[in-house]
Amino acid sequence: MKRKTIAIDFDDTICDTNRAFLFFNKVKHNNSVPYSKIKEKDCLYKILKLSSKKEDIIWDEFFTEPNFCFPQPKKEILGVLKYLKEDHKLVIFSAREKRWQTQINKWVNLYAPNIFDEIIFLKNLKNACSTKGPICKKRDFDLLIDDCPEEIASCLKSNVKVIVFDQPWNKKISKKVPRIKSFKQLKNLVNKRENPAIF
């Protein structure tokens, strides 16, 4: 039987990137805001009270600081990924900007080597659509786990199964879409093979 493919988003799904970025702002720029305040994805400049240009400059600083841009994964994640790898193909599917992609490769080599069959960057794909749904469909991925409301909407539109990774900015997504708050919950959900919402 063909192994099913689970595609997993990187930022704020596997890796706590926004949380690490807020910590960086607190330590390096004395600008402290609680994580729960991020109600909109990709608009951190608003809660940090910066211009979007300044936010971009600070992201550049952040991604050149190895002590900050490689946050350790939560303990449970690696165990769950190893478990899922036994029966599934695991793929990282990231929409991160090209200029900061090498940090993802480094993070994976550092914390999760030999777990993922592939790392796919949406922005590097030829003739890429702007969202992940159509690519998941085309590549026959069975499931995407993501935190981003736009990516989740694009999967639902493309008829691709999706699990929401719970974050303060995705609370408005329909309750009908399966949601996890931790990778432990992912293991339980995926294990329920008879659950048509998942596989």
- In the complex, which residues of this chain contact Mg ion (CB under 5 A)? 9, 11-12, 147-148
Beta strand extents in 48-97 (DSSP E only): 88-94
Backbone dihedral angles phi then psi of residue 120, each to the nearest 5 degrees: -110, 130
- Tell me how far, at minimum, the Cβ of 12 lies from Mg ion, in Å: 4
Instruction: Quote the DSSP letter at residue 36.
Output: G
Tell me if 195 sits within 8 A of 171, measured CB to CB: no
- Tell me how far, at minimum, the Cβ of 130 lies from Mg ion, in Å: 15
Measured from the CB atom, the residue of 65 and 150 that comes closer to Mg ion is 150
Q: What letter represents residue 159's amino acid?
A: N
CA distances from 113 to 6, 20, 108, 147, 179 (A): 17, 21, 6, 23, 26
Measured from the CB atom, the residue of 3 and 169 that comes closer to Mg ion is 169
Measured from the CB atom, the residue of 25 and 167 that comes closer to Mg ion is 167
Query: Which H helix or E strand runs over 7?
Result: strand 4-8
- Tell me how far, at minimum, the Cβ of 48 lies from Mg ion, in Å: 18
- Tell me how far, at minimum, the Cβ of 30 lies from Mg ion, in Å: 27
Measured from the CB atom, the residue of 8 and 84 that comes closer to Mg ion is 8
